[in-house]
Structure 1
Amino acid sequence: MALFKRFTQNASSNNKEIAQLLKSLEEEIAKIKVEASKMEAAQSRTKRELDECREEIRKMENYIEHARNSGNTESERIFLTKKASLEEKERALQSSYDAMIGNGQNMKQSQEMLLSKMNELKSRKDAIDIKLERAKIQEKLNEINTGTFSELEEKVNRRLDLAEAMAELNEIEKGNL
């Protein structure tokens, strides 16, 4: 019995450790979710800047076309210079945006993997909890079967032996009187 009690105490402390570990994992996943949200916000902001830059390039192309049609080479040259700098900005924004998308996908995969592992650990913990409860119930049944029933059986046997002994004594006394 003492061995089983020590085992269940150890299992109980291990169960608390596992619960703390799962709580810690949940906190880490929450932090990752916050970082993912920040990254998505930055990605949206970069996408918006990229779209605005492309719109500015289209405007410059329209201005360049109007300047050519009007024969204003000075304005055309200014607009071409602005367009070139906008195209350079577009390339940088596109590169940044692509990197953010890749990082976001990696982060989502990591998050999904962690969630999957955590759910697996929770399932295993639940199975262990169920087994531990079954073991405790079995221990109580064993205790009842061995302790209480044995004592009751012994008491009943003693009473029966005593009653039979009294009956024999009564028979002996009847015969001797």
Structure 2
Amino acid sequence: MGIIQRFKDIMTSNINALLDKAEDPGKMIDQYMRNLESDLGKVKAETASVMAEETRSKRELDECTAEIDKLQQYAEKAVMAGNDEDAKQFLAQKSSLVDKQASLQQAYSLAAENAGKMRQMHDKLCSDIALLDSRRDAIKAKVKVAKTQEKLNKMGASIDGAKGNLSAFDRMEEKANKMLDEANAMAELNKEPKSADMDALKSKYDSQPAAAVDDELAALKAKLGK
């Protein structure tokens, strides 16, 4: 039956298409569930249609069988009444209905088989949806934990990168300090002594002999009573 294979293909293609482009399992499972719910609605409609066909085929078969039984009874009554020609007509009509009955029986058997398959598909799909729905929260919880861990991993990488930046800043500061020390040293070396300072330094030592002469003169005067 084409409808059964078609819905098998639909349900298979749904999950395969989602898996091919899946980036977020949480979103994927939600989309898959929506697809399954949509498929379930279609399967229900088709199942009802096939079951209705089974019921119609069974009704036609039962009506045909009942008519055959009536013709058989009429033929028997005609024979008992001695009306063989009437019995032949009833039997001829019965023979044509027997051929129809075989065709109706074949149609009913096929309709019943299709209805059984559709009911099985419907029940299996309902069961799958219930199972997946019970697992959906667990799947989404795992996805949430995985995303949290991923964020932590990125934060850890950022912190490690910041440590590396701090180390680089330390090296740059050390280099800047060295450059400043060298510049200060060079400035000290380039500094020339002032001439006024040198004159003051010389006068310090030039004055010492004059002071010694004055002291000696004072001592001599004291000795002479002057």
Q: Given the two structures, how large is their TM-score scaled by the length of structure 2? A: 0.51
Q: Which residue of 1 aligns with 2:59?
A: 48
Amino acid of the structure 2 residue aligned with 1:91: A
Q: Aligned residue for 2:94? A: 83
82, 102, 117: which one aligns with 1:106: 117
Structure-to-structure mapping, 1:115-154, within 5 angstroms: 115-133=126-144
Task: Give the Å deviation of 1:78.
Answer: 1.0
Q: Aligned-pair distance for 1:61?
A: 1.0
Amino acid at match of 2:138: A
Of all paired residues, the percent bearing the same amino acid is 40
Runs of 4+ in 1 over 3 A off after TM superposition: 11-14, 131-140
Gap runs ≥5 in structure 2 = 1-21, 156-226
Three-state SS of the structure 2 residue aligned to 1:71 is coil
Counterpart-to-counterpart distance in 2, 1:126 and 1:18: 10
- Amino acid of the structure 1 residue aligned with 2:43: I
Q: Aligned pair in 2 of structure 1 residues 136, 15: CA closer, same or farther (>3 Å)?
A: closer
Matched, 1:93 2:104: yes
How far has the Cα of 1:117 moved from its partner? 2.7
Structure 1 gap ranges (5+): 1-10, 144-177
The alignment covers a number of residue pairs equal to 134
User: Within 2, Cα distance between the matches of 1:113 and 1:70?
Assistant: 59
Equivalents in 2 of 1:12, 1:68: separation in Å? 82
Q: Which has the larger radius of gyration?
A: 2
Distance in 1 separating the partners of 2:80 and 2:50: 45
TM-score (norm 1): 0.64
